[in-house]
Structure 1
Amino acid sequence: MPLDMWWFTGAACVVLAAAAVLLRAGTPGPDATIAPGPQSVALLRGGRRAAVTVALVALQQRGVVTSGRRGTVRIDGWAAAVRDPLQLAVHTSLRRPAGIQVLLTVPRVQRALDGLRDQCAAQGLLRPRRRWHAARALLVAVPVTVLAGLMVTTGSPAATAAAAAPVAGAVALWFVPRQTPAARHLLASLREAHPLPGRPLRGSASVPRVQMSVALHGDRALLLHLPHFARDGGLLARGSRETGFMADGTSPGRGGAPSCGGGPG
């Protein structure tokens, strides 16, 4: 292997090691004294869309939003008693009927979701945002470094094979989830403690249980507890279409956009 290629391969390995350290370090241990709420649980399970879905469920249970036309949600009352940042952001973004995909583009909702993610990171359930993005940038730099070395040096089959090792390591680390092991353990324990019930939960005492059920079980819980609101409001992750208006009152597109799934995002 040419000497110059050793330098590029070594540099790629150093960058890979730095990314691995960032992914492993700087994550606080989980705080057992703080019980994550349904929106945090939904964020951990299904990403941003799932968290907004639970916020809409909470607002519907308060009687301040209801389903609108063609897969949208609209305001149905004043949210004077609402203090949760994400719920407030969602409610104030519904000046005109909108679907979940539109709500996810509203800056105030995005800021509330970022705050919820930072809260989960502070509780040791997500890897800290700055370290996460820095690690991802370093992982991208690994194949770039190797490619630059192959372009400016005399590559050989042996050199290419050796340089592939850090690239393979970067690909493997790319699929490390932002969730921490503590978050996966928390979700597993919550699913065990809150299985999907066999019949809808009713009554004021069941309000937090319905939200946690939706946070943990997604569409199945929506169809069980709030079937009409879920279908008419476009809350289901599959088989629904939504329309609505952007924050400036313009339509996001004729006929709406397909609702996307609630995967991590």
Structure 2
Amino acid sequence: MTEQQDASATDLGYLTGGARAAVRTGLAMLHARGLVVADPPGRLRRAGVLPARLEPLERALFGALHGAMAPREVANQPQVRRALAEHREGLIGLGLLRPAWRRIALPAMLVLVPPLLVARLVADDVVGGGAALLIVLAFAVFANLFLPRQTVAGARLLRDARRRHPVPGAPATDPAAEPGTAVALYGVTALRILMPQFARDSGLLQEGWWTRLLDAFRPGVPSLPAGAV
């Protein structure tokens, strides 16, 4: 994948919300292809024969489904975890996704270490209190640049994708658009609009309050329009 148009739906899902969003996207795509159906309450099962052309994550998810399983159970199967790890490494290699150490360790170092050094400089009367505060704030702002999951190129790709694919139900929405792309970009909002019964019966909406909060405030992911369900 080198161009925006080459980005798959699961690529966009991973960039938007990590492994959980990529799995949600893959399962929605399998359902749209008629390969996976809901087995209420809160489970999934196969409903067809594996075709030749599927994204690697879709193939792993389909292969991991044995009988009726909850979405989280499917996501924790070894073959799905391997596919997600390969997916993550591929996006990192393309410069679209930051490695975990760069998102966590580097910002932590930039936030924790400079105040200790500045405190030493203040104690030695090298810098004043006001200058020290400005230095610490500057490092904190710099550290914040590394917190997003996407790199600058990855964030640009997502912005372009959302511009080309508005939230389902918006006036500019292409009715022939791939539902997986909408789910990748807009998460549970798109699921509730495009496949409400499947989303409800399959357990894909049964996520923790923290995930729902992140979806609500994630840039580019709108809240559910009134009357959409």
Query: 1:148: how far off?
Result: 10
Q: Which residue of 1 aligns with 2:191?
A: 222
Q: Which residue of 2 aligns with 1:246?
A: none
Q: Which residue of 1 aligns with 2:101?
A: 133
Q: d(CA) in 2 for partners of 1:70 and 1:64? A: 18
CA RMSD, Structure 1 to Structure 2 (Å): 3.7
TM-score under structure 1 length normalisation: 0.62
SS at match of 2:6: coil
Q: Pick one of 8, 13, 17 that aligns with 1:46.
A: 17
Query: 1:194: how far off?
Result: 1.2
TM-score under structure 2 length normalisation: 0.70
- Taking a change above 3 Å as real, the CA distance of residues 96 and 258 of structure 1, as seen in their structure-2 partners, is farther
Query: Is residue 101–residue 259 contact of structure 1 (8 Å, CA) maintained in 2?
Result: no
Q: Which residue of 1 aligns with 2:47?
A: 76
Q: d(CA) in 1 for partners of 2:115 and 2:4? A: 46
SS at match of 1:126: coil
Query: What does residue range 1-265 of structure 1 map to in structure 2 within 5 Å?
Result: 31-32=2-3, 35-81=6-52, 83-127=54-98, 129=99, 132-133=100-101, 136-141=104-109, 143=112, 156=123, 168=137, 171-176=140-145, 177-198=148-169, 206=176, 209-236=178-205, 240=206, 260-261=211-212
Query: Is residue 4–residue 161 contact of structure 2 (8 Å, CA) maintained in 1?
Result: no
Query: Is residue 107–residue 144 contact of structure 2 (8 Å, CA) maintained in 1?
Result: no
SS at match of 2:150: coil
Cα deviation 1:53-91 (Å, max 9, x = unaligned): 110012112222111222121222332535422112222
Alignment length, in residue pairs? 208
Query: 1:183: how far off?
Result: 1.8
Query: Is residue 118–residue 136 contact of structure 2 (8 Å, CA) maintained in 1?
Result: no
In structure 2, runs of 5+ residues without a counterpart are 219-229
Q: d(CA) in 2 for partners of 1:57 and 1:98? A: 15
Amino acid at match of 1:105: N
Amino acid at match of 1:189: D
